Amino acid sequence: MRRGGDGSGLARAVVEVQSVADIQGVLKVARKYHLPVIPQTTATSTVIGSDGIAGGLILSTRKMAQILEISKDDSLAVVQPGVVNGDLDQAARKQGLFYAPDPASKPFSSIGGNVSTNAGGMSTVRYGATKDNVLGLKVVLADGRKVTLGGRTLKQAFGYDLTQLFVGAEGTLGIVYEITVKLMPIPLGTSIMGLAFFKDMAQLAQGVTAIRMSGVYPTMLEALDGNTIGALDKYEKTHYADKSGAMLIFRLDGSSDANIQVLKDLLAKYDAQDVQVTADEDEQAQLIQLRRDMLPAVFAGQNHLMEDMALPLSQLAPMMAYIQQVGHDLGVTIYTAGHAGDGNVHPTLVWPKDQPEVPGAVLEALRRIFWKTLELGGTISGEHAVGMMKNQWNQPELDDNVDYLQHQLKTLLDPMNLLNPKRKIN
Ligand SMILES: Cc1cc2nc3c(=O)[nH]c(=O)nc-3n(C[C@H](O)[C@H](O)[C@H](O)COP(=O)(O)OP(=O)(O)OC[C@H]3O[C@@H](n4cnc5c(N)ncnc54)[C@H](O)[C@@H]3O)c2cc1C
């Protein structure tokens, strides 16, 4: 997965650090020769966040991959940044706990990268994004100082919340070398998953909002539009597209029969068809796999740009309808899926493989979708972060004062602008 250049040229070197002293050494060289440093762990960023910069040093924390502690009593784990999300989750499960944040890249992306991008996933609707699951961080600053932020407590009200400043900082403020995360006890009771089909995404979004507000606390409410279902059908040899224009994959963990009934009633109220519910673990794993297969199914044989907006829940239905309209108006094929339960929408805009340049119509569609997102009170980065793909949108998304404050913070912590320059902030 390592990517050596972002289009400006190749990085000068990749340094795979294995200790804090190694990190400090790389930063010392970078300060001496004024070299950009690009923190990278498993390099799965979708926003050109961890690719090399011409002449810079890729500082990879991939090999700092030890789970240092799993504490059942404190319900937490202490890990190095290179630990893969899924590996931590599996290790925790052996002790009756689990690590909640579950990006689709869970089997291969790192906790260090997840923290630095504030990754989300399917279970964010129930357990929050990465930021809600980080208790403490150890960081090496650009000048080589080590700082310990937060700690092992579930509550913490002392000083400014600098831990959260570094969550989602995309490697622009320091190098994260140790992370303390919350672990959750595995819920008791039955977990169910299921499928439901709707006329279109706007109607699905209305159903999702009602379920979200019903008090049943779903752990997954994933939406796929008709185009995406069609792509999945081709990939999986299924026939879901015959049924409808939108599919919902849902999950309730440790739920009572009464809650399951509330969910079913709401699905009926919002005209969901062919509702299927299963408590069987193998069938549930197949449904999760179906959701994960969405990306390869959509990307197959086409050039693509996958976007990542988050909307206030009440604006999800209008946004879904708007995306469909834009695709229609501009003749652009758009596959829309998303973590509908938390308002996160991923439209993927595609164009033919033999056309290397992004077509003007695709760029125009994106521009319209971004402006509409902001108009509806949303954000154009729900979970994938900013990187180099979106920092030209900082001013429309943030107001001038906030944009300026971001630059002041960056100057304070990284006065030589060595850490991941040209990413996140302009
Ligand atoms: C198939 C696929 C599915 C995906 N699904 C999701 C999803 O559902 N939800 C989601 O949120 N994302 C998703 N992503 C995006 C990506 O996996 C996440 O952004 C992930 O958090 C990146 O982790 P990484 O270890 O690969 O980080 P990298 O790509 O290595 O780095 C990401 C950012 O973190 C910084 N960084 C890395 N390590 C450190 C460190 N030790 N200290 C300081 N900064 C550091 C980098 O400089 C960069 O800015 C997906 C990606 C792919 C390819």
Write the CB contacts of 163 (distance below 8 Å, at least 6 apart in sequence). 134, 135, 136, 137, 149, 150, 156
Q: Confirm or reject CATH 1.10.10.10 for domain 190-295, answering yes or no.
A: no
State which of 38, 110, 117 you would mutate to test the pocket of ligand 1, scoring each by most atoms of that ligand within 8 A of its C-beta.
117
Span 13-60: which CATH code? 3.30.43.10
Q: Decide: 56 and 418 in contact? Cβ < 8 Å.
A: no
36 CB under 6 A from ligand 1?
Answer: no
CA of 115 to the centre of ligand 1 (A): 8
The amino acid sitting at 286 is Q
Span 67-185: which CATH code? 3.30.465.10
Instruction: Note the pLDDT of residue 48.
Output: 94
CA–CA dist 166, 147 (Å, integer) = 11
Q: Which residue is closest in CA terms to ligand 1's atom 50? A: 105
Q: Which residue is closest in CA terms to ligand 1's atom 21? A: 114
- Say how many C-beta atoms besides its own lie within 10 A of residue 51's C-beta: 23
Q: Decide: 29 and 55 in contact? Cβ < 8 Å.
A: no
- Write out the residue limits of the CATH 3.30.465.10 domain(s) in the chain: 67-185
Write the CB contacts of 353 (distance below 8 Å, at least 6 apart in sequence). 301, 302, 303
HSE-up (13 A, CA, CB side) for residue 86: 8
**pLDDT for 263-301, tens place per residue?**
999 999 999 999 999 999 999 999 998 898 988 999 988
109 CB under 6 A from ligand 1?
Answer: yes
CA of 64 to the centre of ligand 1 (A): 16
Low-confidence ranges of the chain (pLDDT < 50): 1
- Say how many C-beta atoms besides its own lie within 10 A of residue 21's C-beta: 10
Instruction: Note the pLDDT of residue 321.
Output: 92
The label of the residue with tokens 């059942």 reads 72
- Write out the residue limits of the CATH 3.30.70.2190 domain(s) in the chain: 190-295
- Write out the residue limits of the CATH 3.30.43.10 domain(s) in the chain: 13-60
176 CB under 6 A from ligand 1?
Answer: yes
Q: Decide: 224 and 337 in contact? Cβ < 8 Å.
A: yes
138 CB under 6 A from ligand 1?
Answer: no
CA–CA dist 205, 314 (Å, integer) = 9
The label of the residue with tokens 């980080």 reads 134
Q: Which atom of ligand 1 is nearest to the CA of 174?
A: 43
Instruction: Note the pLDDT of residue 5.
Output: 84
Q: Which residue is closest in CA terms to ligand 1's atom 9? A: 103
Q: Which of 353, 356, 316 is nearest to 336 (CA)?
A: 316
121 CB under 6 A from ligand 1?
Answer: yes
CA of 83 to the centre of ligand 1 (A): 12
Q: Decide: 339 and 384 in contact? Cβ < 8 Å.
A: no
Q: Does this model's pTM top 0.85?
A: yes
Cα torsion through 362, 125, 50, 44, rounded to 10: -80
Instruction: Note the pLDDT of residue 2.
Output: 59
105 CB under 6 A from ligand 1?
Answer: yes
The full DSSP string for 45-74 is -SSS-SS--TT-EEEE-TT---EEEEETTT
Take residue 236 and report the two structure tokens written for it: 């999986």
Q: Which residue is closest in CA terms to ligand 1's atom 11? A: 119
Instruction: Note the pLDDT of residue 337.
Output: 95
382 CB under 6 A from ligand 1?
Answer: no
